[in-house]
Amino acid sequence: MKKNEVRPFRSALREMVRELGMLSRKSSGTELSPLQSHILIELNSKPSGATELATKLCVEKASMSRTLRTLIEAGYLLREYDGQDGRASTFRLSDSGKQRLLYLEENADRFTEEALASSSDQEVQEFLKTIMQFSGSLRNARRQREAGMTLRPIEPRDNAAIAELIRNSFRENKIDHLEGVSLHDPELDHLSEAYNKPGARYWVVESMGKIVGGGGIAPLAGEDGICEMQKLFFSSDVKGMGMGRRMISFIMTQAAAMGYQSCYLETLDELKDAVRLYEIFGFRHLAKRLGDTGHNSCGICMLKKL
């Protein structure tokens, strides 16, 4: 996303939040605040403690504790203390809380049905898919922020860590036995120096002082205007946090800014999740290789126009 697109996007999100009634108690059809409503919804699934609820609903524990006390005083929740640890407790809905939740759910269902009434079945499915995808993106961004993840250019002090991460990725995927792959590139232990040349860049992802990923680009030999995306690897510790997506998007933006017209990559049939991700970002399969990468074990070649 370009920087000049961020503010309009945020504006659209604010408008949606307002129309959903997240700033008003009246929207639920009850006296409950949005946070109180969400607590009832979560506790309808299973009894939970304050910390678990705070984590699930992405709020501070102090705010959660205050809101839980308010709901107990209103008669909507019951508190059950742990027999072995008097400080620990779980919360569940009272009969009154279940009745209040039923009314809330019916009101929310009507409101949502009215909002979707003017949309086709196809549009409704597209709405749902987009909302779920963006919710996942928000969740990943939050988790990355909480983990203190930063994306920055590689430095000489990163060489040993990123080399070991790449080797470990090959071992974890059980492809370290293959010849003709980046695992055996002579520059693997000196990536900061290898990418310190015209048209080449390499970036690492750092989390709490630890290198957890990296990826780069370099000119594709014999192909004008085409770069090759190289050595995109992440630690299993950050799997499922969206860093692969973030890095690919970042690399494509940087490649275009550097004047490249296309980006090429080679990968292995065994890395099916990675291949699917490349496809999502617009990479198309090629019938034959481009350039001379030396990675003859890579059975998949892909190209994306920038």
| Nearest Cα residue to 40 out of 116, 131, 104 | 104
Bridge partners of 63?
A: none
155 and 299 housed in the same domain: yes
| 143 occurs within a structural domain | no
Domain containing 79: what range? 3-118
| Nearest Cα residue to 104 out of 17, 37, 23 | 37
210 and 76 housed in the same domain: no
169 and 285 housed in the same domain: yes
154 and 97 housed in the same domain: no
| 135 occurs within a structural domain | no
239 and 289 housed in the same domain: yes
Give the pLDDT means over successive 10-residue stretches in the chain (306 positions): 86 91 75 93 96 95 96 96 77 97 93 94 96 94 95 97 92 73 80 96 97 96 93 92 95 97 91 91 93 74 96
**CA dihedral of 50, 98, 41, 91, whole degrees rounded to 10:** 10
| Domain's final residue, options 118, 140, 159 | 118
* pTM of the predicted structure, to 2 decimals: 0.82
111 and 154 housed in the same domain: no
Instruction: Supply the pLDDT for residue 295.
Output: 63
Dist CA 106 CA 278 (whole Å): 42
Bridge partners of 149?
A: 207
Instruction: Supply the pLDDT for residue 294.
Output: 67
CATH number at residue 234: 3.40.630.30
268 and 226 housed in the same domain: yes
Dist CA 254 CA 241 (whole Å): 22
Count: domains in the chain? 2
| 57 occurs within a structural domain | yes
| 85 occurs within a structural domain | yes
- Which residue spans within the chain are E strands per DSSP? 77-81, 89-93, 149-153, 201-207, 210-219, 226-234, 262-267, 284-285, 300-305
Instruction: Supply the pLDDT for residue 179.
Output: 65
Instruction: Supply the pLDDT for residue 42.
Output: 97
Q: Which residues contact 143 (CB under 8 A, 6 or more apart)?
A: 241, 242
106 and 181 housed in the same domain: no
Bridge partners of 48?
A: 91
| 224 occurs within a structural domain | yes
